[in-house]
Structure 1
Amino acid sequence: MSSTAGATGPVSFGARLQAAVAEHGPLLAGVDPHAGLLAQWELPDSPAGLATFSRAVLDAVDGQVAAIKPQSAFYERHGSRGLAVLEELLAGARERGILTILDVKRGDIGSTIGAYAEAYLRPGAPLEADAITASPFLGAGSLDPAVDLALEHGKGVFLLALTSNPEGHGVQHAIAADGTSVALGVARHAEERGGGDGSVWGSVGLVVGATVGDAYRRLGLDAAAPSVPLLAPGFGAQGAGIAELADVFGESAGHVLVSVSRGLLAAGPSVEDLRVRAKDLQADYS
C-alpha cells in the first residue's frame, strides 16, 4: 500500500493502516524467527534458514493480514547476512503492498534518534519500513526527530506505553512530575503528534499489551488518545484472547492491531497451513 499521494503529499500512515484493517481485519502477523521456531520448522539457525522462513511467512500472509511485524533482533543476531534477509523481507512486503511495522524499540535523543529514523523510515533506505516501535522512556519528546521524519514521509511510530512484562509496571504506572502516570503522558504525546481526528487514525500509535488488565482505561489512556492505533501484543500464546479486546480496550477495541506470532507461526512450515491459520485467526478477532 503506497504512501504516495502526488502533489498533496504522502498519505498518512494512520490512514493507510486504518484502510488495511478495514480491508483485511485487525490481525498483525509477528515475524519472529527465533532459534526454537526455526528448529520446529526443521530449518537451520542461519541466514539461509531465516530467508526460507521469511519467504514462507510472507507468501502465507499476503492478502490475509493488515500488516506484518518483523522482530529485528532475530535478524540482527545473524549479523550483516541476517540484516540482508530482513532487507529482503521488508522489500518483498513493500512490493506486495503489505504494511510493515518493524519492531526495533529504539529510544535515544537528538541526532542519534534522528539517525535511527533515517535507517528505518526514510524512503529508499535499505531497511525501510512503514512504521517502527520506539521506547519513549527518555521522555516522549526525545523521539520527536523520528516522529517528524515519519510524518513527513507518510510513516508511523508506535510508542511503548503499557507493556505486558511485569517489570514495565514500575516505570509506566509511576507518577510523573505533572501528577499523572508516565504512560498517560506518552499517550497524550502520541495523540498530540499523530495528526489523527475523529474519523482518521493518527500516525503515532501506542504499544499496549493485551494482558495489562484494566490499566489502559484506569490510567485514562483511552480518553487521552482517542485517535491513536494500538499495537497489542499478548494475544494467543501469551494468554490473551477475544475477550480481552473488550475487557482491556473497551470502546477503543476497534483501534487494536491484534499481534499474533507464535499462535500463527506454529502452523508452519507449510505455506498453505499458515494461510489457513491466518484466515482462522482473522475470523476469530474480526
Structure 2
Amino acid sequence: NESVDTKQSVLCLGLDPHWDRIPDFLKEDCTPDEAILKFLIPIIDACEPHIACVKPQIAFFEQFGSIGFSAFEKVCMYAKSKQLPVIVDAKRGDIGSTAEAYAEAFLGKNRPYDALTVNPYMGEDTLIPFVKKANENGKGIFVLVKTSNPGSGDIQDLPIGDELVCEKIARMVSRLGLDNLNTNQYSNIGAVVGATYPEELSLLRRDMPSQIFLIPGYGAQGGEANDLRSAFYEDGKGALVNSSRGILFAFEDAKEPENFALHAGEAARKAKEDLNFFA
C-alpha cells in the first residue's frame, strides 16, 4: 500500500520476457541473459513512474539455466534499487521441509524479493512454512485462489458441498491472514484472483475482506478495468492489477522495436489511468 500511495497506481508490471518477442537487435552478439537485461532494464526505467510493483515470472528466466537465474536476480535487484516491490511469480508449493526450503529461497531475510505466489493444491499444511517465513521477515505471499486461465474452472469451480473449491481456498487464505493485519486491516497473505472472472472476483472479495488481491488477466488476456471494481475498496486500494504482455510488447502494434521502452512506458501510463477508479 505504501508503493500504491507513492505512485498513485495499482498497476503491477509483469516481467515475462518471451524470448521470441524480444526485439532481434537486442539479441545480437550476446547471450540470452544479456539480451533479457537489455530488454527489461530500460522498460523498468520507462514504466517506473506509473507502476506500484513488478512481478517477474521466473520460468522465462529459468529456461536459460544458471545464466537465466542470474539475470532474474539482477532484474529483481534493479527493481529494488528503484524502490519497486518485487513479487516473484513462481507458484511454489510442496510438503514440509521442501516448502521450508522454498520459503527461505524466496522469502528469506536478505533475499531481494518482497512476495511470492504460492500453490495451495497440496493442502493448508504446505502453506504454513510460507506464512511463517513471510511473517518473520516482513514479506508476503499470494495464494492461487481463482486463476485467469480458461481451464481454471476444471478444478477451482468444482463443488464441495454447498461451496466451490475456490471459495474453500479463499476462506482458508482469509483465516491464515488474520494473524498479521496491518494498521489498515490488510493482511500480508494475499490472493491471486483472475480478471477474466469478474463474478467470482466479487464473490471472493466477500470471502477475503482483508486480502490484497493480485489480479492477472487484465489487458492481453481479455480482462477489462470496469470488471475489476469489486476487488477494490472505496479508497481505491485492496488489489494490484498485473499487466505483462500489453506493456512489454506494446512496440509491436506500432512496429517500432527500436522504441520498445518508450512504448512500454506509454502503455503503462495508460493502464495506470485506466485502473485508477477512485483517484
Q: CA deviation at 1:198?
A: 7.9
Which residue number in structure 1 is paired with residue 157 of structure 2? 173
Tell me if the contact between 1:197 and 1:227 (Cα under 8 Å) persists in the aligned partners.
no
Which shifted more, 249-258 or 46-55?
249-258
Percent identity reads: 34
Distance in structure 1 (CA, Å) of the matches to 2:106 and 2:43: 21
Which of 108, 132, 137 is the matching residue for 1:122?
A: 108
Which shifted more, 142-151 or 49-58?
49-58
Q: CA deviation at 1:273?
A: 3.2
Which of 191, 199, 211 is the matching residue for 2:196?
A: 211
Query: Structure 1: 5+ residue runs without aligned partners?
Result: 1-17
Q: CA deviation at 1:41?
A: 5.8
Which residue number in structure 2 is paired with residue 62 of structure 1? 48
Q: Give the partner amino acid of 2:137.
A: H
Tell me if the contact between 1:196 and 1:228 (Cα under 8 Å) persists in the aligned partners.
no
Q: CA deviation at 1:208?
A: 0.6
With normalisation by structure 2, the TM-score equals 0.87
Tell me if the contact between 2:158 and 2:165 (Cα under 8 Å) persists in the aligned partners.
yes
Distance in structure 1 (CA, Å) of the matches to 2:133 and 2:244: 29
Q: CA deviation at 1:181?
A: 2.1
Which residue number in structure 2 is paired with residue 4 of structure 1? none
Query: Structure 2: 5+ residue runs without aligned partners?
Result: 252-258
Which residue number in structure 2 is paired with residue 84 of structure 1? 70
Q: 1:131-146 to 2 correspondence within 5 Å? A: 131-146=115-130
Tell me if the contact between 2:213 and 2:231 (Cα under 8 Å) persists in the aligned partners.
no
Secondary structure of 1:90's counterpart equals helix
Which residue number in structure 2 is paired with residue 202 of structure 1? 187
Q: CA deviation at 1:168?
A: 1.6
Q: Give the partner amino acid of 1:86.
A: F
Secondary structure of 1:202's counterpart equals coil
Distance in structure 2 (CA, Å) of the matches to 1:89 and 1:281: 22
Which of 123, 127, 138 is the matching residue for 1:154?
A: 138
Q: 1:27-46 to 2 correspondence within 5 Å? A: 27-38=11-22, 40=23, 42-44=25-27, 46=32
Q: Give the partner amino acid of 2:133.
A: L
1:185-242 Cα offsets, whole Å, 9 max, x none, are 221222222223682321011111100131233xx42222101011111111111122
Q: CA deviation at 1:179?
A: 4.5
Secondary structure of 2:122's counterpart equals coil
1:243-268 Cα offsets, whole Å, 9 max, x none, are 2113x647587322111111111235
Distance in structure 2 (CA, Å) of the matches to 1:155 and 1:207: 16
Q: Give the partner amino acid of 1:199.
A: N
Distance in structure 1 (CA, Å) of the matches to 2:228 and 2:210: 17
Q: CA deviation at 1:88?
A: 0.6
Q: Give the partner amino acid of 1:209.
A: G
Secondary structure of 1:205's counterpart equals strand
1:92-117 Cα offsets, whole Å, 9 max, x none, are 12222110001001111111011011
Which shifted more, 151-160 or 235-244?
235-244
Distance in structure 2 (CA, Å) of the matches to 1:198 and 1:187: 22
1:113-140 Cα offsets, whole Å, 9 max, x none, are 1101111110223xx3100101101113
Which of 76, 88, 94 is the matching residue for 1:108?
A: 94
- The count of corresponding residues between Structure 1 and Structure 2 is 262
Secondary structure of 1:43's counterpart equals helix
Which shifted more, 105-114 or 40-49?
40-49
Q: CA deviation at 1:23?
A: 2.3
Instruction: Confirm or deny that 1:256 pairs with 2:242.
Output: no
Q: CA deviation at 1:169?
A: 0.7
Secondary structure of 2:158's counterpart equals coil
Which of 177, 184, 204 is the matching residue for 1:221?
A: 204
Instruction: Confirm or deny that 1:233 pairs with 2:233.
Output: no
With normalisation by structure 1, the TM-score equals 0.85
Alpha carbon RMSD of aligned pairs, Å?
2.1
Which residue number in structure 1 is paired with residue 254 of structure 2? none
